[in-house]
Chains A and B, each alone.
Chain A
C-alpha cells in the first residue's frame, strides 16, 4: 500500500495511468502522487523558462570572444535531438507494456529508453569536451555562462533521469509489479517526456538561432 491517509472514494484514475481495474485506494494514491508530480514539473518548467530567458538576455554578452555563431554546433545537437526524441517513443512503449502487464516489455523498453538517454549524455559530454578544448568555458563571458547553465541543467536532469530509471528497473525486478512501483514509473515517464519538451525549447532558442544567425 502507498500513502493512505484518506478514505478512498472510488476515484477512477486518468486514462494515462497504466492501472487496469485498481482497487480504490491504489487508484486514489496513484492519482494523488501523479497530480503532485505534475505540479512539480510545472515549477521545474518555470526554471527552464527563466534559464532560457536569461540566456537570451546574455546572448550578446560575448565580450569580443567567439559568439553563438562560432560556439554552437548543430553537428551535436541534431543527433542529440534524435536520441532524446526516440527515447520518448520507446518509453511510451514501456508504458503500454505496463498497462498490459508484459514484464519483458517494460524492462526492455525502459532499458532502451535509458540507453538512448545515456547516448544523449555521451554526445553532450563530447560536445562539452569540445567546448572546453576550444576554451569556451563558462568563465569566459556572460553568453557562455548562460549557455552552459541552460544545457547543463537539462543534462543534469537527464543524468538524474537515467539513474532514477535504473533504480526503478531494479525495484521492479525486486518487488514486482506492485502499485507503488507502477505509480513511480508513471511519474518517471512524465519526467522523461518533460525533458523532451524542454530540449525542444532549448533547441529552438539556443541551437537554431545560434547556428543559423551570426
Chain B
C-alpha cells in the first residue's frame, strides 16, 4: 500500500472516533476537564518509570544477545546503590501521584458542588432500561433526556428502582452508581451549549446496550423555554410512574409534568428497612 493510502486508512480509523464521540477526551465542563488533566499529569509522571523500562529492555535485548561479544558477568546479583534507586524512584513517583490522589479526590468529590451559586436539583432514577430524571424545583420530569442549562451547577441525586446502575455523561464527569434503597450524588456543570450523551455503564440486563440518554445543554433562556414545554406534557402520577417502571421499554426521550411529590424518596424507601411500602402493586 503506498504511504499516502496508509495514512488515509489510519485517518479513517482515527478521525471518526475523535470527531464524533470523543467522550472524556473532549470535555465540556470543569469536572471532565480536570479528570482529563489528571490523566495527562499521571501519564507524564509515570513516563519517568516506564520509558526507562522500555529503553533498558530494548538495550539489554540488543546488547546482550548471546551472539554479541558482550560483557558477561554471571555472578553479578546485587548492588546496593542500584537496589536503592529501583526502590526509591517508584516510591517517589507514587508519593507524587499519591498527593495528586489526595487533593484531587477531595476537589473532585462528586458530592461537592462544582460551580458557585444555586444548584439545579435533579433526581435520577435508574429503571429497566432507561433513566427517569425528575426536576423537583421545576415540576417536570423526563425519560432518556437530561437537559441542562449551561454554566449552572447540577446536583444529581441517584437511586435505582431496579438492579445496580451507574450514570455517566462522558463529556461532563465520571460516573456514580445508582443503587436501590440508597442515595448517591453527582455534581456536574456543563460549560457550553451542545448536544451530549450519557448512559448506564453497569450491566443491567437485556436492554442495557441501548440504555443511553441525550444530554442537551442549552443557554438559561432556552432551558427555561424547554422546561415550559415539558410542563405541558402529561403528568407523572403514580399510575404513569408504575407503567414506566414495570412495563414500558423505551429509548426515546419523553417528558412529563407534575411529578408526584416526594417520588424520589418514595422509590428509595421501597428498599429501606422501615416503612417499605411498594409503590406499584405486583400485578
Contacts and interface: CB of A to CB of B under 8 A. Distances in A.
Task: State yes or no: do A and B touch (Cβ within 8 Å).
Answer: yes
Interface string A56-86: 0000111110000000000000000000000
- Is the contact region of chain A dominated by helix, strand, or loop, or is it mixed? loop
Interface in A36-67: 60-64
A64 B269 CA distance: 13
A83 to B, nearest CB: 35
Contacts of A64: 273-275
B276 interface: yes
B214 to A, nearest CB: 39
Contacts of B273: 60-64
Nearest to A142: B273
Interface string A129-149: 000000000000000000000
Nearest to B274: A64
Interface residues of B, number: 4
Contacts of B274: 63-64
Interface in B219-245: none
Interface string A19-41: 00000000000000000000000
Interface in B34-59: none
Nearest to A63: B273
A62 B275 CA distance: 12
A86 to B, nearest CB: 40
A50 to B, nearest CB: 21
A2 to B, nearest CB: 41
Nearest to B272: A63
Contacts of B275: 64
A94 to B, nearest CB: 48
B91 to A, nearest CB: 31
A189 B68 CA distance: 64
B142 to A, nearest CB: 33
Contact of B276 (A60, A62, A63): A63
Nearest to B275: A64
A64 B276 CA distance: 9
A106 to B, nearest CB: 52
Contacts of A61: 273
Nearest to B273: A63
A69 to B, nearest CB: 15
Interface in B255-283: 273-276
Contacts of A60: 273
Contacts of B276: 63
**Which of B273, B274, B275, B276 has the most chain A CB within a 10 Å cutoff?**
B273
B274 to A, nearest CB: 5
B212 to A, nearest CB: 34
Interface in B152-186: none
A60 B276 CA distance: 15
B66 to A, nearest CB: 39
A142 to B, nearest CB: 9
Nearest to A64: B274
Interface of A: 60-64
9 contacts: A60-B273, A61-B273, A62-B273, A63-B273, A63-B274, A63-B276, A64-B273, A64-B274, A64-B275
CB-based closest 5 A-B pairs: A63-B273, A64-B274, A61-B273, A60-B273, A64-B273
Given A60-B273, A64-B275, 7 more contacts: A61-B273, A62-B273, A63-B273, A63-B274, A63-B276, A64-B273, A64-B274
